Amino acid sequence: MTSRRPVVAGNWKMNGHLELADQLVEKFATELNSDAVEVVLCPPAVFLSDLSKKLEQNRERLSAVELGIGGQNASALEKGAHTGEIAASMLKAAGCEYVILGHSERRAMYGDTPELVAEKFAQAKANGLTPILCTGESEDEREAGKTFEVIAQDLEKVIECNGKQAFDNAIIAYEPLWAIGTGKSATPEQAQEVHAFIRGHLAKIGDVDADTVRILYGGSVTPDNADELFAQADVDGGLIGGASLVADKFIKLCQLA
Ligand code: PEP
């Protein structure tokens, strides 16, 4: 079996502050000290440059830690008269290596359709960012037996727009909508079943070695349930919302991955 380095990404959403970054840097330097896991911090966009400078200032102390930063969204367009939008090239200039795309909150509230997310994915790739593509079903879709169908559509749109090798440098996050911010995580078996489907479907529709693609689980992950989730064969770490805002919890999750 191919070994995949786990990733733990923290999605601060519209929360957090730079003091949290200070706390995290301190913890990473003193309590993680390992590159066995790739850590990604995704604060609100206005904090990216400061966070990037902070990491640079602490480069020596953090030299053993594989730590990067990411945006929470990017425009599908290159530039122009699009008030409030942020181009992928700007995220890159602010120090990002990653960008979360298609988070369910953006799909539900800001018109991110599978097609639009696929175009954002193309911009991210064109600007050297690693997309973290979120996908997942609602509770109704799960109950109607449509989980795989919903996820397959998201993956297929990305491939239609970006080609069969789209996922050669990309991360996927399986985030069931009913688990995000609800305190009700998927069971390890539910997560594994969907992750295995994602990997199998990628192998079918793409032209990448699906065994090398990292697939993260997201949805109410805490230090109490992470061990079993992260132990599943096709779960390669987590995309963390609420628990990424508490330095002690986030560092614990990085240690568990
Ligand atoms: C998320 O929003 O990506 C997420 C997984 O949130 P939480 O961990 O709070 O459920």
What's the CA-to-centroid distance between 240 and ligand 1, angstroms? 5
Nearest atom in ligand 1 to the alpha carbon of residue 243 is: 8
Say yes or no to pLDDT of 5 above 70: yes
Residue 135 to residue 146: CA distance in whole angstroms: 13
Indicate which residue's Cα is closest to atom 1 of ligand 1: 241
Decide if 105 contacts 146 (C-beta within 8 A): no
Annotated binding residues, as ranges? 11-13, 181, 220, 241-242
Architecture of domain 7-256: Alpha-Beta Barrel (3.20)
User: Which of 35, 44, 47 lies closest to 7 in space, CA to CA?
Assistant: 35
pLDDT tens digits along 65-90 = 999 999 999 999 999 999 999 999 99
Nearest atom in ligand 1 to the alpha carbon of residue 134 is: 3
Give the pLDDT band of residue 2 (cuts 50, 70, 90): low
pLDDT at 139: 97
- For 131, 172, 225, the CA distances from 167, given in Å and listed in that order, are 9, 9, 28
- For 44, 46, 100, 176, 233, the CA distances from 16, given in Å and listed in that order, are 8, 11, 17, 23, 32
Residue 192 to residue 231: CA distance in whole angstroms: 9
Interface TM-score (ipTM) > 0.95: yes
Mean pLDDT across the stretch 50-59? 95
Annotated binding residues for substrate, as ranges? 11-13, 181, 220, 241-242
- For 27, 122, 131, 184, 219, the CA distances from 128, given in Å and listed in that order, are 29, 10, 9, 35, 27
Question: Taking the alpha carbons of 116, 121, 244, 183 in that order, is the dihedral positive or negative?
Answer: positive
Percent of the chain with pLDDT over 90: 97
Residue 187 to residue 197: CA distance in whole angstroms: 16
Pair of tokens at residue 195: 């992750």
pLDDT tens digits along 221-247 = 999 999 999 999 999 999 999 999 999
Domain spans of the chain?
7-256
What's the CA-to-centroid distance between 36 and ligand 1, angstroms? 23
pLDDT tens digits along 101-155 = 999 999 999 999 999 999 999 999 999 999 999 999 999 999 999 999 999 999 9
pLDDT at 57: 95
Percent of the chain with pLDDT over 70: 99
* 104, 182, 220: residue to mutate for ligand 1 pocket, most atoms within 8 A of CB: 220
Give the pLDDT band of residue 1 (cuts 50, 70, 90): low
**DSSP string over 172-231:** EEE--GGGTTTS-PPPHHHHHHHHHHHHHHHHHHSSS-GGG-EEEEESS--TTTHHHHHT
- For 6, 150, 208, the CA distances from 66, given in Å and listed in that order, are 11, 33, 24
Q: What is the pTM of this model?
A: 0.97
pLDDT at 3: 85
Marked catalytic residue, from 38, 103, 119, 137: 103
Q: Determine if ligand 1 sits within 6 Å of the CB of residue 220.
A: yes
pLDDT tens digits along 160-172 = 999 999 999 999 9
